[in-house]
Amino acid sequence: MSTTTTKKLVEKKESLDFTEDSISKEAHEEENWTLVIEPSSGLFDLKLKEVWRYRDLLQMFVRRDFVAVYKQTVLGPIWFFLQPLLTTITFTIVFGRIAGMSTGGVPPLLFYMAGITCWNYFSSCLTATSSTFRSNSGIFGKVYFPRLITPLAIVVSNMLKFGVQFLLFLAFMLYFLLEGTPIQPNLLLLLIPFLIIIMALLALGSGMIISALTTKYRDLQFLIGFAVQLGMYASAVIYPIAEVPQKYQLFIMANPMSGIIETFRLAFLGNGEFEWFYFLYPLTFSIFIFLLGVIIFNKVEKSFMDTV
């Protein structure tokens, strides 16, 4: 092959390569992607914009969690009322009548219902959120959406259940007020919305931490039920903090739910003395746990499919 022929072939090859590069570049510039999936850029990246974009999915999950649980039951939503009511009656008989535990001068029915209403919301959120990765591994492995939506939906749907049980508590409180029972609602009622948010953050953060850990350590899923039950007795659900011996009060107050429940009771029933520690400690603790939960959740969600 002559030198001239070889030179022409090289020039032709370069021309074809240039043409292919130009076509590829033009095609790339004309592509308009509607969604770009990238790994989280930071531990504190909550992707709140994406959560807002997927708010319809959040609403669907909330509806699923709220409706599907009792959809095929005989009594349906009535269970929202029956569960706290039956638990309250049981506590009143066992702890109030048989054990003779003091309720600080408050009617036992109202005393236990106030504590149960708060504790049910926290425990339901914590238990459901703690299995986020394990329970949703099938859908997580098939389609993309902000993973934070799943635990958020649990917290919101349980807030609706809390609202139903809260109305039941108000109905009984109104009955006792009409009967002349010395109940004194006070300005601490202004803290109630903050108490609900604190419980939500505490349950959400704790649940995300446990959910992340259970992807590697499956034993935790068997311990969570026992831990929740033990935590109830280590809080102020069945006794007022003032009735706890001084040497045990620090242990009881280490549980942030104790301060929340005590403040909730004082706000509606007005029996006892309020201390800002009851409010500030759970607030600080819940924010810390929530931030820690977000860090661990964001880290684990990138690779949990390899271990779940």
Q: What is the mean pLDDT of residues 132-161?
A: 79
The residue that leads in pLDDT, 36 or 182, is 182
Q: Over the stretch 153-198, which tens digit does the pLDDT of each residue have?
A: 889 888 888 988 999 999 999 999 998 888 888 899 999 999 999 9
In the prediction, which pLDDT does 180 show?
81
**Span 34-51, average pLDDT:** 62
Q: How confident is the model at residue 25 (pLDDT cuts 50, 70, 90)?
A: very low
Calculate the alpha carbon distances from 154 to 34, 48, 62 in Å. 28, 17, 7
User: What are the residues whose beta carbons fall under 8 Å from the beta carbon of 113, sequence distance 6 or more?
Assistant: 84, 85, 88, 168, 169, 172
Q: What's the rounded Cα separation, in Å, for the pair 87 and 94?
A: 10
Question: Over pLDDT 70: what percentage of the chain?
Answer: 77
Q: Which of 67-76, 149-158, 257-266 has the lowest mean pLDDT?
A: 67-76
Q: Which residues contact 164 (CB under 8 A, 6 or more apart)?
A: 77, 80, 81
Residue with tokens 């068997």: 222
As a whole-number percent, the residues of the chain with pLDDT over 90 amount to 24
The mean per-residue pLDDT over the stretch 72-79 comes to 64
Q: Which of 183, 133, 187 is nearest to 303 (CA)?
A: 133
134: pLDDT strictly greater than 60: yes
By the 8 A CB rule, do 167 and 76 touch? no
Residue 17 pLDDT > 50: no
pLDDT at 53: 81
- Tokens found for residue 13: 């090859």
Give me the pLDDT at residue 169, please: 93
- CB-facing half-sphere around the CA of 58: CA atoms within 13 A: 16
Angle CA(255)–CA(257)–CA(262) in degrees, nearest 5?
115
HEC sequence for 21-84: HHHHHHHHHHCCCCCCCCCCCCCCCCCHHHHHHCHHHHHHHHHHHHHHHHCCCCCHHHHHHHHH
Confidence of residue 283 (pLDDT cuts 50, 70, 90): very high
pLDDT tens digits, 204-222: 999 888 888 887 777 677 7
